[in-house]
Amino acid sequence: MRIIHIIFPLLIIMLNIGCEPFAKSYPPTSNPKMYVADEYVSPTTNPDQVKVVTWNIRFGAGRLPWIIDSCGEKALADYDSVEIIMQKIADSLNAMEADIVLLQEVDIESKRSGFMDQVQFLLDNTNLNYGAYASVMEVDFVFSDGLGRINTGNAILSKFELTEAKRIKLRLRTDQSTLVQYGYARRNIVKAKIPELSQGAKDFYAVNIHATAFATDDTKQQHINKYVETLTDNIEREAEILFDEIETLGGVVPGIESGWFQQKIAHSAMRQQNEIESGERTVVGVNQFTEGSESIEIDTLKIDKEVEKRQIAKIVALKKSRDESKVTECLSALHQACRTDENLVPKILECARSYCTLFEIRDVMQEVFGSYKEPVFF
């Protein structure tokens, strides 16, 4: 019994030492670790053409038989072995002339990969200058197979400066027990802005994800949904800016009266046309990939006169069959409501239910409000 009393607390202590770092919780967004190459290499790439490479480098294990992949007994590699593989990865990235690299399963000073900081190694041995790293699993000591310290995650490497970098938390799997969840990977999305590649109001972001692969629940779909949400964040932010401008103007009506909406639409149309004509925006069949295209004649849609006659006949028949006293009552009620601050929608619906025509409803409202003529500002 005394032995049990001694061993059990020791097991609890060992479990806490081995697993406590896994319990590290992350907020929805946090700051990734930022890197800079020891020597800056000036980019020669035309910013209008960018080559992006995504690569799961398997923590520099290469083709080494690895126990984690159930294809060997090896759990640890020395620095020299990992360096050989990492140099081949660096050489491949240089040969591909990669401008932006999205890495998965990259190790930071982990025992299994010779305690190499693989992000810094790649920056110092390629033409890439900046990095952002977000940990997926960080633990000071893993007893299993003597793995010891592990810090592995996702990274963005870039020739161009990275700013506003974020680590975005992804949901844990729900098809695992609480204990397994406690020690499982904290998957994430790492996102960074690249100002040098931004064009006007259009920001350029690099976004990297390593979603779950083996979940039997809906976690993988949830990870993909979060990834799409991350990609559309910029659109939402730009929309919020426009909403704030409209509020500053006093609302939609003052915006229309001042010509603000017209100006925004006109400027957007002009910008898009300029982008098409300059080749900045590709429109297939218009300014790109037009070789060999055949001219196609498209028939103009013409409405047969018989269609018009049938529609007129339907309106005439409708007016003969409806309750004219009810029509007069509803239109009169709408007319009176137009002269007050009353909500007009219920009155309009009553008119529609009594088979008032659209013209009749519009005609009543025109008597009170008049006809709107859009002002010309250009």
Q: The tokens 């898009």 sit on which residue?
A: 272
- What pLDDT is stored for residue 343 in this prediction? 96
pLDDT score for 23: 44
CA–centroid distance for 192 within its chain: 12
Q: How many CA atoms lie within 13 A of 231 on its CB side?
A: 9
Q: What is the pLDDT of residue 19?
A: 45
CA distance 362 to 371: 10
pTM tops 0.75 = no
Helix (H) or strand (E) holding 15, with range, is helix 2-19
Q: Are 83 and 120 in contact (CB under 8 A)?
A: no
Distance CA 133, CA 154 (A): 6
Residue whose C-alpha is closest to residue 263's, from 247, 236, 245: 245
pLDDT of residue 86: 94
Strand order from edge to edge, sheet including 188-193: 29-30, 163-169, 188-193, 205-209
Judged by DSSP in three states, 92 sits in helix
- Show the tokens assigned to 15: 């479990």
CA dist 210 and 170 (Å) reads 10
Residue 18 has what pLDDT? 44
Q: How many CA atoms lie within 13 A of 357 on its CB side?
A: 12
Q: Which secondary structure element, helix H or strand E, spans residue 190, and what is its range?
A: strand 188-193
Question: From first to last of its 378 residues, what are the pLDDT tens digits of the chain?
Answer: 555 555 555 554 444 444 444 445 678 889 999 999 999 999 887 777 899 999 999 888 766 665 555 455 566 788 998 999 999 999 999 999 999 999 999 999 988 888 999 999 999 999 999 999 999 988 877 666 556 788 999 999 999 999 999 999 998 888 888 777 766 788 999 999 999 998 776 789 999 999 988 889 999 999 999 999 888 887 888 888 899 999 999 999 899 888 899 899 998 899 889 888 888 788 887 887 777 666 667 788 888 899 999 999 999 999 999 999 999 999 999 999 999 999 999 999 999 999 999 999 999 999 999 988 877 776
Look at phi and psi of residue 146 and say left if phi exceeds 0, alpha if psi is from -120 to 50, else beta: left
Q: If you search the block for the tokens 């949904």, which residue do you land on?
A: 225
> What per-residue confidence (pLDDT) applies to 99?
95
Mind listing the pLDDT tens digit for each residue in 239-259? 888 999 999 999 998 998 888
